[in-house]
Structure 1
């Protein structure tokens, strides 16, 4: 059995689990989603941040998931971008609109279908494996139950069964057949204990999360102007989050993985969960997840956005007020950063204020743009991550998504042929630096052309302001005359090549492909 202080067997949470959780049929499926769901009550709950971190660690400890994360994920180099995309996906899946949920489920299935391979020990992994997908859902459910217990607000029987039914419905919405998760809550806990005790390992992805990500987490865009303050805060918060997370993990797994038991860690863990639970008494608008994500990932064109929003019709007044509030806070952070740099002897680091068009050196461009997975090499998963981010921004369906992936695959073959001098199947930073006169071959031009085509949603041969904003999440940054307010194919391709091969900074492409 698992340690009751570290996991959440059903018997420790409620008095009776004899009644089975009924499987959700199609008529019930819609009722399990939407604003009245248990999930939505958790989504804006500060405690859920701790629960999601814990669930991510348990996912990474699964050999197949750990291998897929280590090979393909951008969570090390671009954690804030990954966070935003994950939250948007969860909102779509648990929202009230069934059409949106179906489209997102199809998108997730296409994404997972592209994540397969072998790990360093030649063991296969496949993100479409139904048992693997069931474990991801299991960690979210169990960590949500655990967060309630550790914060002194355990779920009652009805709430727990409702939450379990919602996560079962989430798995069903992805098209997975029933049976990969146990049908009832009382049957879930033996399943969970078995996986923890028999299948989880101290994977490379787990090691990176616990010993690298927390300690080297890059600053979110809001705090990019305060690198010294961020570094000081991270030095304290990183080990703290790691200690809290490890203390909350199941005891059998902690022992087998050799994770240390820090004195006082359990008391610290419970205190963190209780403190997060008390935040529920704060005003609701302070805790909305989308507001917090907006603060962490502000629009790079906030001044123009603010001016444009002020010109909206009266039905946009609430959005304008929200934008004005966020903009005011960001401006104050910029001012604080400028003042702090004036009164401290620390060297100035790169911030988003660096002018558009400035050149990066080869080493910086390789690290910030090309190496999307953060493993120190350029290979196919890095370019696939670019295609994935662009497809996500544009919310592409088939066949446009596949066209974009195929264009990037062709570019990878061209890069591999030109730059992989030692034949190891990947491009090192040194190999890239030795061959940087130009990357603008025919395949990269094709990527630019396909990206233009899929961004030009109405097919009129131009990218208008709305289409530009969909891709870059910012207003036009180009100088346009009144008669020419659209982005032409030639200008778009030129700017894309200038960024990707000329290593020029870009107000649009930096937040899209370079920022954390």
Structure 2
């Protein structure tokens, strides 16, 4: 990825995920995922996010970085970890191994990558959109999603996405859980100064109907602040040196590799 606020000739999924700006999209991506009732109830009833938010962040980012920046061995290792974590997440209403639920999660990770690239680096070219769409399938194929489930072309993805969203309804239990997550749960004191900005960007990135369904406020003043954020945040971000922008990716990948080195070899 170029240090300038412009797209290079070819943009790959890895070029986006190694950039620290993806963290701005974490909250909105989670809410998009939880708009699916099965995902939402599964997370609200089983996730440790409120009690151990940094551990949950570590697990999520290890998955994102391993699937997009890691080796085949690292993808396999993180898939085993996710499968173990998914074991207890089941009820008559949801099952974490349900390929349809996993497909939706994969789709939200793809959409988040596109939205954040648009915000921080500008719109993708048609060719880069196709490249990114093909590469994003790794989010599902690493787990239980079958190849035939991913809409075969980018043109078919959009109506599929809209049809999925049209069929969702937000459960009160899920809504309350999201509000608690946005408050920070048991986040350590040294992260709490970042929470107001994260909440604001989360609300800004969400489509208006989801803000309404999750009862997240949005005023004319918020819209003005959001316009300023979109104008200035990319300029500030690209002024940072690359080693700082890529530091979270290096940190979590190094952490994953250290943990893998301590585990017995998987034959």
The TM tier, using the shorter chain, reads: 0.7 to 0.9
Structure 2 CA distance for aligned equivalents of residues 393 and 115 of structure 1: 28
**Residue 398 of structure 1: how far off its partner (Å):** 7.7
Q: Tell me how far apart the structure 1 counterparts of residues 46 and 262 of structure 2 sit (CA, whole Å).
A: 20
CA contact (8 A) 1:243 1:262 kept: no
Where does residue 156 of structure 1 map in the other structure? Answer: 125
Give the Cα–Cα distance (whole angstroms) in 2 for the partners of residues 285 and 62 of structure 1: 36
Q: Helix, strand or coil: the match of 2:33? A: helix
Q: Please provide the CA RMSD for this pair.
A: 3.2
Partner of 1:260, secondary structure, is: coil
Aligned mate of 1:115, from 83, 89, 94: 89
TM superposition shift of 1:45 = 2.0
Does the 8 A contact of 1:39 with 1:94 survive in 2?
Answer: yes
Q: Distance in 2 between matches of 1:393 and 1:216?
A: 32
* CA distance 1:293–1:181, shift in 2 (3 Å): closer
Match of 1:83 among 43, 54, 57: 57
1:169 paired with 2:135, answer: no
Deviation at 1:206, TM superposition (A): 4.0
- Classify 1:110/1:215 alpha carbon distance in 2 versus 1 (closer, same or farther; 3 Å): closer
Q: Which runs of 5+ in 1 are unaligned?
A: 1-35, 119-123, 224-229, 298-390, 400-516
* RCO comparison, higher one (Cα < 8 Å, 6+): 2
Contact 1:47–1:273 (CA<8 Å) still a contact in 2? no
User: In structure 2, how many angstroms separate the alpha carbons of the residues matched to 1:115 and 1:215?
Assistant: 24
Residue 114 (structure 2) aligns with: 145
**Structure 2 CA distance for aligned equivalents of residues 95 and 292 of structure 1:** 12
The Cα of 1:293 is off from its aligned counterpart by 6.5
How far did 1:125 drift?
0.7
Distance in 1, Cα, partners of 2:21 & 2:95? 31
Instruction: Report the 3-state secondary structure (helix = DSSP H, G, I; strand = E; otherwise coil) of the residue aligned with 1:161.
Output: helix
> TM-score, normalising length from structure 1?
0.44
After superposition, give the CA deviation of every residue in 1:466-503 in whole Å (9 maximum; x if it has no partner). xxxxxxxxxxxxxxxxxxxxxxxxxxxxxxxxxxxxxx
Shift of 1:131: 0.9
1:67-89 Cα offsets, whole Å, 9 max, x none, are 11112111111111211222222
Aligned to 2:211: 254
Q: CA deviation at 1:274?
A: 4.3
| 1:246 shift after superposition | 2.2
Q: CA distance change for structure 1 residues 257 and 175 in 2, over 3 Å: closer, same or farther?
A: closer
Residue 60 of structure 1, CA deviation? 1.8
Which of 175, 183, 188 is matched with 1:215 structurally?
Answer: 183
Asked if residue 189 in structure 1 is aligned to residue 149 in structure 2, the reply is no
TM-score, structure 2 as length reference = 0.79
Is 1:289 matched up with 2:248? yes
SS at 1:158 equivalent: helix
Mapped contact 2:33–2:105 kept (Cα < 8 A):
yes
Higher helix share: 2
* Deviation for aligned residue 1:141: 1.0
Structure 2 Cα separation of the partners of residues 57 and 174 of structure 1: 21
| Structure 2 unaligned blocks of 5 or more | 1-9
Equivalent residue for 1:59?
33
Relative to structure 1, the CA distance from residue 63 to residue 164 in structure 2 (aligned partners, 3 Å threshold; closer, same or farther) is: same
Q: Is the 8 A contact 1:59 1:136 kept in 2?
A: yes
Q: Displacement, 1:256? A: 4.1
Computing the radius of gyration from Cα coordinates, the structure with the larger value is 1
Give the count of matched residue pairs: 252
Structure 1 residues 79 and 178, CA gap change in structure 2 (3 angstroms): same
CA displacement, residues 298-347 of structure 1 (integer Å, 9 cap, x when unaligned): xxxxxxxxxxxxxxxxxxxxxxxxxxxxxxxxxxxxxxxxxxxxxxxxxx
Secondary structure at 2:78 match in 1: helix
Query: Structure 2: how far apart are the matches of 1:273 and 1:78?
Result: 31
Output one character per residue of 1:216-267: Cα deviation in whole Å (capped at 9) or x when no partner.
454548x3xxxxxx66x3xxx5344323322322233334444433223233
Q: Is 1:280 equivalent to 2:238 in the alignment?
A: yes
Call closer, same or farther: CA 1:126–1:100 in 2, change over 3 Å: same
CA distance in 2, matches of 1:277, 1:139: 22
* 1:174, distance to aligned residue in structure 2 (A): 2.3
Residue 202 of structure 1 deviates from its aligned partner by 4.6
Structure 2 vs 1, CA of residues 197 and 246 (structure 1 numbering), >3 Å: closer, same or farther?
A: farther
Instruction: Give the conservation status (yes or no) of the 8 Å contact 1:64–1:132.
Output: yes
